[in-house]
Amino acid sequence: MIIEICTTSLSSIINAQDAGANRLELCENYLIGGVTPNIEFFEKSLEVSKIPINILIRPRGGNFIFSNLEIDRMFESIKKFEKYNISGFVVGFLDNKNQLNNTLLSEFRSATDGYELTFHRAFDYLVKQEESLEQLIENKFDRILCSGSKIDSEKGLLNLNYLNSLALDKITIMPGGGINTNNFKLFKNAGFNEIHLSAIDKRISLDSNYDIIKEIIEMSKQ
């Protein structure tokens, strides 16, 4: 099982890889849901990380209906990062009807050719998810990060299971949102091959917590 950790600091990266995580999603500003990391933080992250990194490409917090200017910024960010040794990119966007623009999907896939491509939790806001799933498959996205359109993945587990049954081996459904040591086995037992979490204990800090990740890793091997 692949354990992906959302990381927004160098301490989080070190904790994640030392605890045995398989992959990182790199971003900034966790409290607003994450945005594209700045280049200085990214370059320092590359120096520290020994495991694959996927870069979040999101120009701002808030909704996922982006202006043409914001979309252009997303493509510019991809160009900036693709010259580095990274694993992939994470993107997400909606039109003003909360649907997918197939032309944009194709353009993002072309812009990230040779890299893994994840469609993030904007998927949870789509009104035609079965159709959208097929669009993402047709455009050769590798995975969908979502919570089953609920506030967290545990509440959305039924929807996640349904999406997983539709996805088969054509695309990976990766649950994310509210996954922790108390509910992790629900997702493992449901047969998901990848999960996404930040592993943060806000009582301590906003860094990903080594002990939480280590416990998740150990449970994934049971």
Query: pLDDT of 110-162, one tens digit each?
Result: 999 999 999 999 999 999 999 999 999 999 999 999 999 999 999 999 999 99
pLDDT, position 106 = 98
Q: What is the CATH number of the domain that holds 26?
A: 3.20.20.380
Residue 177 DSSP SS3? coil
Q: pLDDT digit of tens for each residue in the chain (222 aa)?
A: 999 999 999 999 999 999 999 999 999 998 899 999 999 999 999 999 999 999 999 999 999 999 999 999 999 999 999 999 999 999 999 999 999 999 999 999 999 999 999 999 999 999 999 999 999 999 999 999 999 999 999 999 999 999 999 999 999 999 999 999 999 999 999 999 999 999 999 889 999 999 999 999 999 998
- By the 10 Å C-beta count (0-12 exposed, 13-18 middle, 19+ buried), 213 is classed as buried
pTM of the model: 0.96
Domain containing 34: what range? 2-220
pLDDT, position 149 = 96
Q: How many separate domains does the chain show?
A: 1
Please name the residue ranges forming H helices in the chain.
10-19, 39-48, 68-81, 102-111, 129-138, 157-167, 184-189, 210-220
Integer Cα distance of 29 and 27 in angstroms: 7
